[in-house]
Structure 1
Amino acid sequence: MNKKIIALAVAAAACATQASAVELYNQDGSTFSIGGHVAISAKGNSDVGGTDLISNSPRINFNATQDLGNGFTADAKGEWSLNYLDGGENSFTTRLGYIGVSHDVYGRAVAGTQWAPYYDVAGVTDMPIAFANDFLYDNHGALGTGRAENMVSYRNDFQLNDNLSIFGGLGLQDGATAGFDNRGQVAIGVNFADFMVGYAYTAGDRTDGLTSKEDATSHALSAKYGSYGDGVYVAGVYTINEYMNGTTNYNTNASTADVLDDSNGMEFIVAYAFANSLNLSINYETLQSNDKKVVDGTVYSQMAFQAEYNITPTFVGFAGYQLDLGSDLNKEENDMWNLGVRYYL
C-alpha cells in the first residue's frame, strides 16, 4: 500500500489548491482551513474580435479533517465557484461537497460531489490555467468525467516496490440528475518511477438531449511523465465515446444539444518548468465525430502556447494563445488569447 497516496488525499481536504490553505484550527486530531483562489484576466478573440474581462474559475472552499483512531481519518470539503464580476443572484454555485474516510491499508471512500476516479486517469492533461481539456467537461457532473455529482467512490493504491505501484478506483452515481440514469465507472493504472499509465471506463443510460434512451459510455487511456510545474512534464489522453459529447459548446449556430453517438477526444501536453518557476507549455486538443447525422469529422481542433510564472508562492501570472486549427462544423475559425493573474488563498 502506498501511504503517500492516501496521505495526499487527506491533505487535499486541508489544502485545496497548489498553494497552502489558511489553517484556522488544528487541535486534538481536528483541523479546519479555508482555501481557494481568485483570478482576473483579459480574454480576446483574435479573428472575431472583442475582449472580455473574465474570472477564470474562481472558488472558495472550507476543509476539515478528523482523526478517528485506529488509522482512520475523516475529511470533509465544501467548495463553491464565485461570481464576483457581475454579481447577481448566482454569486455562489457548488463545485464540490463531500465526506471521505481514509486508511493507509483499506483505502479511501468518498460520498458527494467530487473529482471522479475517471478524472484520475483522464485529467492528466487538464493542467494549464488559460486553456486546457474541454471535452471532459461536456455534462461532466452528470456523466462523471470531471466533478461527478451524487457519487460514492472508493480508491486504493498498492505499493509493490520503491518505484512501482498499482492504483484503482470505483465510482457509482445515483442518477439524481434529470435525463441521466445510474452510472458506474472503474479506473486502474500503474505508477512506475516518474511514469503513469491508466485506463478508465464509465457507463450509464442517458435521455438528455436524445429522443430515446441510450447507453452513454467512455473508455479513457492516458499516460504521463513527470509532475506538472516541476521540470519536464509530458502527458496524453485518448477517449472513445458513445453519447458522451455534444456540439453545442463548439458551434455558435447550434440551437439544440446535438449529442454525438460516436466521438473520440484526444489531448497532448508538453511542459517545462524552470528553476525560477516559469512554466512553459504546448498542448493540442481535438474532438472527432463519427456521427453522420450530426457531423462526420472534426468538431474542433486547437493548439495552445502558454506560460505561467509564480511571482510569489501564492500569486501567479499566466498567458496563453490558442490557435483554432479548424472544424467541420458551420463555424468561423477563432484564435483566442488569455492574459491574467491568479491569487491562491
Structure 2
Amino acid sequence: MQNTTAVAVTAIALGLTSFTSSALEIYKDKENTLNVSGFFNILYVSGDGFDEMSDGASRVNFEFTRQLNDGWSAFAKAEWAVNTVNSNSNLTISGDGRLAPGAADDTISTRLGYVGFKHDTYGSFSFGKQWGTIYHITAPTDMLNAFGAEAAGSFNRGTDGGYTGVGRAEQAMQYNNSFGNLFVSAQMQATQNEVDISEEFLNSLPEAGIPGTPFVPKDISITYDNSYAVSAIYSLPMDIKIGLGYNVANIEVTSNENPALVDDVEDTMIAAHITYGSIGNYGLYAAVVASETENHEMDNTGEIIDANGLEAVVTYRFDNNIELLAAVNQLTADEQGNDYEMAYYVAGVGYYWSDNFKVFAEYKFDDTTYADGQSFEDANGVNNDVLAIGARYVF
C-alpha cells in the first residue's frame, strides 16, 4: 500500500488537487485497467484593453496499468491539453496558469506522456515527459484557477519547464519511492534542445496586446543539455509537510549575431515548501514555496538573471461550500543594479456546487517593476490587473 505522502504527491502531479479525483474506469480485467480523467475549465478574462472568453488549461488524460509478476505492475499515461473555447483564439491561459498567446494548431497539444513500472516496496521507475522531480516541491502553490505558478521557477522563460526538467520534464528518467513518512524522488533528463529566444518571445511584446510582463527578445539561442534533480518530502504530525528539492541543467547561450560568443553555464534551482492541510478539503489549506535560482529566469529586457522566488497560497472552504483564497507570486532579480520584480497578488472566491464542479472568480492585482525601475503601468500606459470568472468540471 502507498502511504499518505505518496498519494498526496500523486494527486498533485495529476493537477487535480482542487477537487476530489474521480477518474472514470473505462476497462478492467484481472490484469489490465484503463482510467480516463481530467477537467474542463472555461474562463471569462477581462483587463485594461481586452475582454474575452478563454480556455483555462483544460485537459484529458488516459492512464493504463497492467499487473506483472512478483508484485510489479506496468503503467503508462498520456495527457493532452484541449482548447475548449475555439481553435484560433488569440488569447489563452496556458496549462501553467498564465495568460499567453495561442494559435489555431494548439487546439490539442501534448502535456504528458510516459511509461514505467512500480512496486510497493521498491518504488516506481518512469520514462518520458512527466512532472519533474523538483515540481513535487513547487506544486502545492500551483493550484489557483486562473493565475499563479510564475515565481518559483517551475515554468521558467515562458515554457512548460520541460527543457530544464523543472516543470513537465521532457525526455526524463525518474525514480520515486516512499519510506514511512518520507517521499523521495530522483531524476535524470537526457535531452538536447535549442531555443531561439528572439522567436520564443516575439509575440510577448507590449504591442501584441497580451497582458503579462512583456519580454524584449534578445538575438540569442539557448541549447539545453542534460539535467539532474533530487527532492524529498516529509510528513509531520497535524497534516504538515515540508519539502526540499534541487535541479541543475547544463545550458549553452550563443549570440546569433556573433556565433563565436558562447557561454556555458549551469542553470540551477533550489526550492523548499511547507504546507498545511489538503486543497479542496473543508477548512484551512496553506502553502508556501520559496526558491533560489541561477541562470534560470529572464527579466523584461531578455537578460538571463539570478533570482529569488516566493509563492504563497491560503484557502478556506466553509461548511456551506464557499471557498475564499488569497495568493502572492513574487520573483525578484538577485543582481546588483537590476530592479526587476515580477509581483502580483490574487484574491478569489469559489463555490463547490459539488466536489467535482466549481464556479469561481479571481482578481489579480499587479505590482511588477521592470529592470530599469519603472512600473508596468508607467512603462506601458495600462495597468496589468486581470479579472477571471469561470467554471471547472472535473471527471
Distance 1:284 1:50, change over 3 A: same
Amino acid at match of 2:85: L
Residue 335 (str. 1) matches residue 377 (str. 2): no
Post-superposition CA distance 1:282-315 (Å, at most 9, x none): 11110000234xx613421111011222213332
- Corresponding residue of 2:287: 235
Whether the 8 Å CA contact 2:164–2:227 is kept in 1: the answer is yes
Q: 1:137 aligns with which of 146, 155, 158?
A: 155
1:199-238 alignment to 2 at 5 Å?
A: 199-207=244-252, 211-230=262-281, 231-238=283-290
Structure 2 runs not aligned, ≥5 long: 88-103, 195-222, 256-261, 378-382
Structure 1 vs Structure 2 CA RMSD: 2.3
Please state if 1:264 is matched with 2:308.
Answer: yes
Q: Which of 237, 240, 247 is equivalent to 1:195?
A: 240
In structure 2, do the counterparts of structure 1 residues 166 and 278 end up closer, same or farther at CA, with 3 Å as the change threshold?
same
d(CA) in 2 for partners of 1:277 and 1:196?
25
**Correspondence for 1:162:** none
Q: Match for residue 100 of structure 2?
A: none
Q: Which moved more, 1:36-45 or 1:216-225?
A: 36-45
Which residue does 1:103 correspond to in 2? 119
The alpha carbon displacement at 1:30 in A equals 1.1
Matched, 1:246 2:298: yes
The answer (yes or no) to whether the contact 2:40–2:84 under 8 Å persists in 1 is: no
Q: CA deviation at 1:205?
A: 1.1
- Partner-residue secondary structure (3-state), 2:304: coil
Aligned counterpart in structure 2 of residue 176 of structure 1, from 192, 207, 227: 192
**Aligned mate of 1:23, from 10, 25, 31:** 25
Deviations 1:74-118 (CA, angstroms, capped at 9, x unpaired): 211100111233313332211000112221111111111111120
Q: 1:235 to 1:12 in 2, by over 3 A?
A: closer
Give, in angstroms, the shift of residue 36 of structure 1. 1.5
8 Å CA contact 2:45, 2:389 repeated in 1? yes
Counterparts in 2 of 1:226 and 1:55: CA distance versus 1, 3 Å: same
Q: Partner residue of 2:178?
A: 157
Taking a change above 3 Å as real, the CA distance of residues 284 and 12 of structure 1, as seen in their structure-2 partners, is: closer
- Residues 262-286 of structure 1: per-residue CA shift (max 9 Å, x gap): 1111111111112233221111110
SS at 2:192 equivalent: coil
2: distance between equivalents of 1:72 and 1:4?
20
Q: Which residue of 1 aligns with 2:43?
A: 41
The answer to whether the Cα contact below 8 Å between 2:80 and 2:109 also exists between their aligned partners in 1 is yes
Distance in 2, Cα, partners of 1:49 & 1:209: 36
Q: 2: distance between equivalents of 1:64 and 1:308? A: 33
CA, structure 1 residues 186+242, in 2 after alignment: closer, same or farther (shift >3 Å)?
same
Asked if structure 2 preserves the Cα contact closer than 8 Å seen for 1:6 and 1:108, the reply is no
Check 1:10–1:319 CA distance in 2 against 1; reply closer, same or farther (3 A cut). Answer: closer
3-state DSSP of counterpart to 1:74: strand
CA offsets 1:165-194 (integer angstroms, 9 cap, x no match): 122110110023221010000102311121
Distance 1:91 1:217 in 2: 33
Equivalent in 287, 297, 304 of residue 346 of structure 2: 304
Q: Partner letter of residue 191 of structure 1?
A: S
The total of aligned residue pairs comes to 327
* CA–CA separation in structure 1 for the residues paired with 2:69 and 2:5: 19
What displacement does 1:16 show?
7.4
Q: Is the 8 A contact 1:41 1:340 kept in 2?
A: yes
> Does the residue aligned with 1:297 lie in a helix, a strand or coil?
coil
CA apart distance, 1:324 = 1.0
How far, CA to CA, are the matches of 1:209 and 1:272 in structure 2? 48
Flag the 1:340–1:297 CA change in 2: closer, same or farther, 3 A: same
Partner amino acid, structure 1, of 2:271? A
Aligned to 1:344: 394
- Tell me the distance in 1 between the aligned counterparts of 2:105 and 2:140: 34
Deviates more, 1:138-147 or 1:16-25: 16-25
Provide the residue aligned with 1:147 in structure 2: 168
Deviates more, 1:23-32 or 1:210-219: 210-219
Deviation at 1:11, TM superposition (A): 8.5
TM-superposed deviation, 1:209: 7.3
Secondary structure class of the residue paired with 1:245: strand
1:2 Cα shift?
Answer: 5.0
Summarize the alignment of residues 281-300 of structure 1 with structure 2, pairs less than 5 Å apart: 281-292=325-336, 296-300=338-342
Secondary structure, counterpart of 2:136 in structure 1: helix
Quick one: which amino acid aligns to residue 344 of structure 1?
V
Question: Whole-Å Cα distance in 2 between the matches of residues 232 and 339 of structure 1?
Answer: 23
Counterpart-to-counterpart distance in 2, 1:23 and 1:300:
42
- Over residues 239-276 of structure 1, what are the superposed CA-to-partner deviations in whole Å (9 max), with x where a residue is unaligned? 110011113xxx4xx5xx4321x111111111111223
* 1:95-142 superposed Cα distances (whole Å, 9 cap, x missing partner): 000112221111111111111120111222111112221132113111
Relative distance call for 1:25 and 1:9 in structure 2 (3 A) is farther
